[in-house]
Amino acid sequence: MHTSFRRLTLAVLLAGSASLAPLLNAGAAAPSLAGTAKPVAAATSVGAVVALTAAAAATTTKKTPSAAPINSAPPAAPTVTRGMLAAEVAGTGNYGQPLISGCAWATWVTACQNLTAYGNGSGFSNVGCGPPNGCRFGPEFQCEELADRYAYYAWGEPANWYPYGAVGGASTMWQAGPALPIPLTQYANGSGTPPVPGDLMIFAPGWLGSYWDGSGHVAIVRDVGPGYVDVVEQNATSSGTDRFPLGGSRVTANGYTPIIGWLRETEQAPVELALSSVAGTPQSVSDQPGNIDVIWRGNDAKLHDLAYRNETWQSQSVAATSPAGVASDPAVVSPVAGQVDAFWEDALGNLWQVQSQSGFFGSETWSPPQELQVGALAIGSAPTAVSQAPGEMEVIWKALDGQLWVNTFDGAWSAATPLNSGAVLGNPDAVATSNGTVGVVWRDAAGNLWSDLGASFGWLGAHEIGTGRLASDPTVVTAGPGSVDAIWRTQTGSVWAATVTPNGGPAQVEVDSAVSMGRPAAAGTAASAVTVVMQRANGTLAAAIYDPINGWFGPEQLNQVAASSQLSAVSWYGNAVAAFWQGSGGSLWWSPACDGCAAHPPPVFKPAP
């Protein structure tokens, strides 16, 4: 492609046309060739990081890398270039020369040393099969080779995408992504979901100056910040990096062919943590960043705990047993770092509490359980608990009269107080915001959603929210000072949400139209976002994200392990959210909940079982 004549032509174009670069990215697809002359250099392997139309097949054993430890976000790209059109003149870096080392950008990948980007010389169409990787991931130093290599080491995908539909250059990776063994989710450019680090950005065929590139291009998103996206790439720029403007969810790449969108690996590898001991729904809580406690009712009617400390799951322990046994799912809360409290109903309808204190080296000590002497709970109900300020707690339950009651701890337990909720169907859920507001939600016998808000001066009174037709108990979540959101499943199976206010709430919004079952779980994150985890009709899990800037996006398939119980979710480190559930046979499972789906999350490490 790179004859001297073509180089001269492009140099003239770059020097003499100030409007050329904006024109290259004006459309969302390549210009139609109908009724026009054949492109000057029309070829299937010209231009934009030309990936050959038929990459060499490679047979390899699929490797699923282990997850990486927590790292800081990658820095911004050190070099801002003028795109691939400029590379027509400047070249793509000396052939085989390392441009940017893998561990300088792919900090979230354990095997980052295998992700160095290399130059492809003075011609986009240069190919070979030499060291360090040969043609294991396709012809060396092409854009697809780096993308295939990244997907292999970061996600455990096959080394070559050709059998899955990537047969016509880099642009065909878009159609191949959802067909891979670990399906990738497609997000069209400008469709409402911005890119995040680790996404594969796919470019369509299109014009580069006066040359038609029939293959397209692929780059890997390295960093996303206010108004920009940084990428790492091969066979494109002499630095191996570039920076594109970002407006909302639309990326503009002047000097490139049009961007189709980005592919994202959303499925997480679930981990089985404990065998044959879980009855009901395991509950999760984080007393401080990096810590998790998962507490559940066992088949032996005892309360069990599994703690995650110092990046390691500790030994499973029996947290408590009451004289009449644990008869409900526990409510768990942490009023202060190093302390976890659990509440439950026994078989006689009594309310119990147990407390743990953290010690050295991840140790945890549970105190003897105590009965709270608040009167009888409705048989078969489960309490909910929150901490509205350091050292303070409120526990809320449905009593024998079918209404909600509350008890407050502020150095000592107060007397139980009714909330005047009216008749309650199912179990309530409660959350405390960072400014001390307590929000509680429930449904009535007619399937209507109700809420009440509590402050230091008392409760504001029950109000109805939304349009009713609840088929599950609602979940409540907070994602910022004073922000309370209710989430529920409707009778048609879809999942909806509404903000709770002192007067009830605004119009409800649909989170997911697909059919779900059970009660959705939710957790707020440090970025004032909300992650909602849902159980599909076949038992598999999906997640959706609310981002304050972009609104709701998703849902995304989370994993394909069927859950046998409802779910719990906890925000435990920055924007990281973990989901827990009971698997078949009473086992305990966990998975990152939509790792990488938040607006700009830190890397999330996966605890070892």
What number is the average pLDDT over the span 173-202? 92
Hey, which residues does 525 pair with through a beta bridge? none
pLDDT at position 190, please?
Answer: 94
Domains of the chain plus CATH, in order, are 4-30+39-265 (3.90.1720), 271-592 (2.120.10.70)
In which band, very low, low, confident or very high, does the pLDDT at 49 lie, cut at 50, 70 and 90? Answer: very low
68: phi then psi, degrees, rounded to nearest 5:
-90, 160
Top-confidence residue, 91 or 321: 321
- Torsion angle defined by CA atoms of residues 320, 321, 322 and 323, in that order, rounded to the nearest 10 degrees: -150
pLDDT band at 85 (very low <50, low <70, confident <90, very high): low
pLDDT, mean of residues 353-381: 91
Helix axes 4-16, 83-90, angle to 10 degrees: 130
Q: What six digits make up the tokens of 214?
A: 């029939």
pLDDT of 332: 97
Alpha-carbon distance of 259 to 251, in angstroms, equals: 8
457 and 503 Cβ atoms separated by less than 8 Å: no
Flag whether pLDDT at 41 surpasses 60: no
* Contact between residue 374 and residue 361 where contact means Cβ atoms under 8 Å apart: no
Q: What is d(CA 38, CA 43) in angstroms, rounded to the nearest whole number?
A: 10
pLDDT tens-digit profile of 126-138? 677 888 888 899 8
Establish whether the linkage from the previous residue to 197 is cis, with ω within 30° of 0: no
Please tell me the distance from the alpha carbon of residue 257 to that of residue 47, in angstroms, as a whole number: 9
State the Cα–Cα distance between residues 22 and 258, nearest whole angstrom. 11
pLDDT tens digits, residue range 499-513?
A: 888 776 667 899 999
Give the SS3 label for residue 586.
Answer: helix
- What is the residue-wise DSSP string for 123-176? -TT-----TTTTTBTBSTTSHHHHHHHHHHHHH---S--GGGT--SSGGGHHHH
Better-predicted residue by pLDDT, 298 or 181: 298
Going by pLDDT thresholds of 50, 70 and 90, the confidence category of residue 211 is confident
pLDDT at 262: 97
Phi/psi of residue 16, each to 5°?
Answer: -105, -5
CB distance 84 to 217 below 8 Å: yes
What pLDDT is attached to residue 317?
Answer: 86
CB 553 within 8 A of CB 192: yes
Q: What is the pLDDT of residue 23?
A: 23
**344-365: average pLDDT:** 91
What one-character-per-residue DSSP string does 499-522 give? E-BTTB-S--EEEE-S-EEEEEEE
User: From CA 588, how far away is CA 271, in angstroms rounded?
Assistant: 9
| Inter-CA distances, 323 with 326, 328, 346, Å | 9, 14, 8
Q: What is the pLDDT of residue 494?
A: 94
Give the mean pLDDT of 180-204: 91
Residue 575 dihedral angles phi and psi, to the nearest 5°: -100, 10
User: 595 forms bridges with which residues in the sheet?
Assistant: none
CB contact at 8 A, 340 and 332: yes
What does the pLDDT read at residue 504? 67
Which pLDDT band, with edges at 50, 70 and 90, does 417 fall under? very high
Lowest mean per-residue pLDDT among 83-87, 373-377, 481-485: 83-87
Most confident of 266-280, 356-370, 484-498: 484-498
How high does pLDDT run on average in the chain?
80
Average pLDDT of 156-167?
Answer: 90
Q: In the prediction, which pLDDT does 391 show?
A: 95
**b/e per residue 184-195 (b: at least 16 CB within 10 A):** bbbbbbbeebbb
| pLDDT tier at 515, thresholds 50, 70, 90 | very high
Check if the beta carbon of residue 349 is closer than 8 Å to that of residue 397: no
Question: What is residue 75's DSSP assignment?
Answer: P
Q: How far apart are CA 203 and CA 196, in angstroms?
A: 16
Say what the pLDDT of residue 83 is.
Answer: 65
d(CA 243, CA 246): 9
Rounded to whole angstroms, the Cα distance separating 281 from 588 reads: 9
pLDDT digits (tens, 9 = 90+) for 108-156: 887 899 999 999 887 667 677 888 888 899 888 999 999 999 999 888 8
Q: What is the pLDDT of residue 307?
A: 92
Read off φ and ψ for residue 85, nearest 5 degrees. -60, -40
Q: Residues 409, 392: contact at Cβ < 8 Å?
A: yes
**Residues 258 and 549: beta-carbon distance below 8 Å:** no
* Helix locations, 177-269, DSSP H: none
Place of tokens 């539909």: 165
d(CA 432, CA 331): 14
Q: How large a percentage of the chain has pLDDT more than 90? A: 50
Give the pLDDT of residue 592.
82
Q: How many whole angstroms separate alpha carbon 427 and alpha carbon 191?
A: 38
pLDDT at 166 over 70: yes
Distance CA 447, CA 469 (A): 5
Res 50 pLDDT > 70: no
CB-based burial of residue 390 (10 Å sphere; 0-12 exposed, 13-18 middle, 19+ buried)? exposed
pLDDT band at residue 600, thresholds of 50, 70 and 90?
A: very low
Do 96 and 119 meet the contact criterion of CB atoms below 8 Å apart?
A: yes
Specify the residue for token string 């401080």: 288
Q: Whole-angstrom Cα distance, residue 532 to residue 524? A: 9
Measured in Å, how far apart are the chain's first and last C-alpha atoms?
Answer: 53
Rounded Cα gap, residues 150 and 157, in angstroms: 9
Residue by residue, DSSP assigns 257-307 as PPEEEEEEE-----EEEE-S-EEEEEEEE-SSTT-EEEEEEETTS-EEEEE
Q: What angle do CA 283, 288, 292 make, to 5 degrees?
A: 35
User: Rounded to the nearest 5 degrees, what angle is found at the Cα of 329, between the Cα atoms of 593 and 314?
Assistant: 60
Which of 230, 47, 207 shows the shortest CA–CA distance to 142? 47
373: Cβ–Cβ under 8 A, 6 or more apart, which residues?
none
Query: In this predicted model, what pLDDT tens digit does every residue of 560-592 receive, in sequence order?
Result: 777 888 899 998 887 788 899 998 889 999 888
